[in-house]
Amino acid sequence: MKRLSLTSNACLIALLAVAVTACDFFDPDTVTDPNSPSTSEVLSGASQSELQNLVTGLESRHRNATTGVTELYGSFGREVYATFASDPRFITNWLGQNDVTPDAEFFGDGDAFNTPYAAIKQGNFIIEAVNNTDAVDDQERNGYVGFAKTIQAYQYLIALNGQWRGPDRSPPGSIRIDVEDPLNPGPFLSYDDALAEIRSILDDANRQLGTAGSEFAFTLSSGFAGFDTPSTMQELNRAIAARAAIYAEDWEGALSALDASFLSLEPGEASMNEGAYHVFGAPPDQFNPLFYPRNANTNQILMVHPSMIEDALPGDLRVDRKFFRRDEPITNGDLPGVELFYQDDRFESNESPFPFIRNEELILIYAEAQTQTERFGDAVDAIDVIRETWELDPYSGSVSKEALIDEILFQRRYSLWAEGGHRWVDARRYGRLDEIPTALDGGQVFEKLARPLSER
């Protein structure tokens, strides 16, 4: 047997032992996320700059659903055809061809449910973070919470629009409002209850903005220009409240909300476009996904539904402003025989902003509420603000509730074209889904989406 002769190597041994057996060799350090900050750092003791980042994050989440619902609800209401040839389901499923109906895994409906709720989650996260830090005082805190809740309410409305109560008005539940605890969310409320909750969130937010001082402790992007102080944010809040009120058919409520909003009955395009916007930009920001270069040689493009051209009044400036006639039409394999000539002409570039609520809608809400409360004179005046702006003759039809509602819905079709799918929602509000033309595509108009599988 050989003996170990260690002594001669003693120095070397000592050196090696120290070098190799450093303790993390046998007991590695805990790995923390090398790619991102962690939520727990922000949830308690957030700094002002961390809160600012969360607010900017909410602006981003607030923007995310817009394109998707404009395409999806816009297709339902035949404002547009989503001729994206890469996936036939943009036509076959969205238009309900071959008896397809929405199911729990319906194609491409995430922006009508998941995306708004992601923004709502972000809002709840801000509220939790701002309630668990000493970096802000009470006034500032109210500013954060009021802003977050205002945006949340807007997003709830997007989700609610997909989950209509149905014709029987005895709803089994539309959406959840209480989603603060991810593992234990609240119940599905009926459509009317959910809407009432959303309106009360808006009212809470309005109150909190009212006690938030004269300045926010955070800054917002240029999309909120004109609404970047607590008091101007209240005007935006009330505008959203007016939209919610007409969904609830609370006409007086709508009028009083409009009173406190940024409504202006001034005619002219500038006045119409007063409002709040989603902004876009080059990476790392996002381009405006609804922008398509004119005459682009592509089969992936959102196209204007031909009925928008056919039904337009002669000389309507909106047709000129919003629709661009291509040299070559767009065709799609699932729309046999259909040639689509008009594409969206609203955006100058892929960095142009996209409105999420503007004065033109407020004017039409005003007109609708006045009509419903039978103050027809005010209604006609408001309608004429719109007509004048777009170089149409003043309203000359009959002055009755029915005729004026017809007129208002018609004007809404053109004024609010492809801004989140108003036409589908409006037609449903007035039981006019059957007026939406389907002959061209052979499909059907859905009443609502199905509840996502994960909610079952």
Sequence-distant (6+) residues with CB within 8 A of 279 are 63, 221, 222, 223, 285, 353
Residues 26-65 that bind other proteins (CB under 8 A): 26-40, 42, 50, 52-61, 63
Find the binding residues for other proteins in span 228-267 (CB under 8 A): none
Confirm or reject binding of residue 282 to other proteins (CB under 8 A).
yes
Size of the site for other proteins (CB under 8 A): 115
Segment lying near other proteins (by CB under 8 A), choices 200-208, 229-237, 312-320, 446-454:
446-454
Q: Which of residues 131-170 bind other proteins (CB under 8 A)?
A: 159
Given candidates 44, 47, 222, 398, which one binds other proteins under the rule CB under 8 A? 222
Residue 413 CB, shortest distance to other proteins, in Å, is: 27
Q: Between vectors from CA 272 to CA 202 and to CA 149, what angle results, nearest 5°?
A: 15
Is the Cβ of residue 224 or residue 323 nearer to other proteins in the bound state? Answer: 224
Neighbours of 256 (CB within 10 A): 16
Distance of closest approach, residue 184 Cβ to other proteins, in angstroms: 9
Contact pattern from residue 103 through residue 132 relative to other proteins, giving x for each residue in contact according to CB under 8 A and a dash for the rest: xxxxx-----xx--xx-xxx-xx-------
Burial class (CB in 10 A: 0-12, 13-18, 19+), 429: middle
Query: Is the bond leading into 284 cis (omega within 30 degrees of zero)?
Result: yes
Report how far apart, in Å, the C-alpha atoms of 12 and of each of 4, 15, 26, 175 are. 15, 5, 21, 72
Residue 94 or 414: the one with the smaller Cβ distance to other proteins is 94
Burial (CB count within 10 angstroms: exposed 0-12, middle 13-18, buried 19+), residue 75: buried
Please pick, from the candidates 45, 172, 281, 397, the single residue that binds other proteins as defined by CB under 8 A: 281
CA distance 288 to 154: 20
CB nearer to other proteins: give 396 or 454.
Answer: 454
Chosen residue from 67, 75, 83, 93 binding other proteins by CB under 8 A: 93
**C-alpha closest to that of 303 among 114, 88, 80, 139:** 80
**Which residues 350-369 are close enough to bind other proteins by CB under 8 A?**
350
Nearest Cα to Cα of residue 144 among 64, 240, 48, 41: 48
Token pair of 34 as six digits: 């090398």
Site for other proteins in 303-332 (CB under 8 A): 329, 331
State how far the Cα of 163 lies from the Cα of 102, in Å rounded to an integer. Answer: 11
Q: State the Cα–Cα distance between residues 308 and 80, nearest whole angstrom.
A: 9
As measured in angstroms, the least distance from the Cβ of 271 to other proteins is: 24
Nearer to other proteins, 252 or 285 (CB): 285
**Which CB atom, from 291 or from 324, has the smaller least distance to other proteins?**
291
Looking at the Cβ atoms of 223 and 369, the one nearer to other proteins is 223
Q: How many Å from the N-terminal Cα to the C-terminal Cα in the chain?
A: 74
Q: Does residue 66 touch other proteins according to CB under 8 A?
A: no
User: Where does this chain touch other proteins (CB under 8 A) — which range of 140-148, 310-318, 413-421, 447-455?
Assistant: 447-455
Binders in 167-206 for other proteins, by CB under 8 A? 175-176, 179, 181-183, 185
